[in-house]
Amino acid sequence: MRYRSTSILLVGLAVPTTLAAQSIETGPVDLRLSGRVQVQYNTTSIDEDDVASDFDDEIPFSVFETRRVRFSLEAEIDDWITGKLEPDFALGKLSLKDAWINLGFDPRFELRIGQFKKPFSLIELTSSTKIPTIERGVRIRGLAEAFEPVRRADGGQLLTDFDGDPVFGEEYEMLDALGYVGHDIGIAVHGSFGRIGYELGVFNGNGPDARDDNSEKSAAARVTVRPLTDRPLTLGVNTSYRELRFDGTIDGVEFEGAELDGAVFGVDAEWGEFRRPGLHVLAEVVGGNNLLTDQTLLGAQAIAAWFFARDGERVEGLEPLLRVSYGDADLDRDLDRGVLVTPGFNLYFFGRNRLQFNWDIFFSEAERVDTAHSLRAQAQVFF
């Protein structure tokens, strides 16, 4: 079934190319095909001795994986209607990322309809082909299993458990697990007034490729400003509200038809730009409601990199970097805070093509959970 779906999708990509030859009758149509392939090697410091005794699967010390394999088709019709279709084939599994149409009535007012990222979190909205780090948050194999046997003094679970998946004390993974960031289906208005940009969207709230299952809607909004005409500084404020009808478990308690909702708020700043010589910083602070426990969450992340341009025939730039990310999914819960530290180095070729090297180190507040490590190397091809 997976191969049949892939074939249908490839045929769908080919049809617009055929139609482009008929642009005399349909109006001016410009098509652009692009793509990215990210192949990653990673290790983990966690093995079978660090997890629950009833865990039967092996945790390989190192693996190779296709992290992202995406092909993107973008269309521009009559200079004001645009659309994008972007599937992902990573690890041989077909999923849909972007699928939207945009009506550019005016630079100050545009309308986007379909599946796209909610306008929240600078770290999330920065493309994986441009962000300095390999991963946006903690992604260490075996880390979830390592937390399972660890309990608080009162016998409760250390981390909030969302239908079997722990919500780690790390800024990005916390937002991602709670569904405040990422792709969703909906509609958004966006535009810019000089150095001020905005986007406001309404979404199903159930994530990508999913219909809504209740009458309520989720929402997200973001405003950015470039306050200095001669400095590469962008400031942003944003908020994300999510509601959903939930069937599953929270901290081991079974729920059926539970109505969950919560909102988070964030401020962020970016200094510099991708592949521009000098300092490039992305930083954000978020706070708000953990919709699982109805308690307050808090997180912050900062990535600092310095790009050194080179005149080499093949290697065009070098970029050392450092990332620090902190998260606490529930301020009223003890020992669930964590810190992710990532030193790294990027080697740039033409455009966005690069080799990346990261060392992820995750520190847990819980003394019974050892510090976890992961060494990563990733090759990225972008066209």
The 10s digit of each residue's pLDDT in 148-170 is 766 555 556 678 878 778 899 99
Mean pLDDT of 104-122: 98
Helix (H/G/I), strand (E/B), else coil: 187: strand
What per-residue confidence (pLDDT) applies to 52?
Answer: 67
Burial of 166-184, coded b for 16+ CB within 10 Å and e otherwise, reads bbbbbbbbbbbbbbbbbbb
Is residue 26 pLDDT above 70, yes or no? no
Beta-strand runs (E) in 164-211: 165-166, 183-193, 196-203
Cross-strand bridge partners of residue 278: 307
Query: Between 74 and 160, whose confidence is greater?
Result: 74
Mean pLDDT of the chain: 90
For residue range 358-374, what is the model confidence (pLDDT) as tens digits? 999 999 998 778 899 99
* Range in 16-25, 69-78, 253-262, 308-317 with the lowest mean pLDDT: 16-25
Q: Which residues contact 5 (CB under 8 A, 6 or more apart)?
A: 94
Is residue 18 pLDDT above 50, yes or no? no
Length of the chain: 383
**Dihedral over Cα of 378, 339, 253, 213: its sign:** negative
What per-residue confidence (pLDDT) applies to 158?
Answer: 72
* Range in 23-27, 124-128, 129-133 with the lowest mean pLDDT: 23-27
Residue 142: count of CB within 10 angstroms of its CB: 20
- Asked if 120 and 222 touch (Cβ cutoff 8 Å), the reply is yes
What per-residue confidence (pLDDT) applies to 82?
Answer: 98
Cross-strand bridge partners of residue 347: 318, 355
The first and second tokens of residue 217, run together, are 């809607």
What per-residue confidence (pLDDT) applies to 23?
Answer: 43
What per-residue confidence (pLDDT) applies to 249?
Answer: 83
What per-residue confidence (pLDDT) applies to 58?
Answer: 87
Q: Tell me the domains of the chain and their CATH numbers.
A: 39-65+97-382 (2.40.160.10)
What per-residue confidence (pLDDT) applies to 230?
Answer: 94
For residue range 206-244, what is the model confidence (pLDDT) as tens digits? 999 999 999 999 999 999 999 999 999 999 999 999 999
Mean pLDDT of 305-334: 95
For residue range 179-192, what is the model confidence (pLDDT) as tens digits? 999 999 999 999 99
Query: Between 51 and 259, whose confidence is greater?
Result: 259
* Range in 85-94, 107-116, 160-169 with the lowest mean pLDDT: 160-169
Q: Distance of CA 181 to CAs 119, 286, 328, 378, Å?
A: 8, 12, 17, 24
For residue range 261-292, what is the model confidence (pLDDT) as tens digits? 999 999 999 999 999 999 999 999 999 999 99
DSSP of 50-110: GS-TT--S---SEEEEEEEEEEEEEEEETTTEEEEEEEE-GGG--EEEEEEEEEEEETTEE
Cross-strand bridge partners of residue 359: 375
What per-residue confidence (pLDDT) applies to 155?
Answer: 58
Is residue 305 pLDDT above 50, yes or no? yes
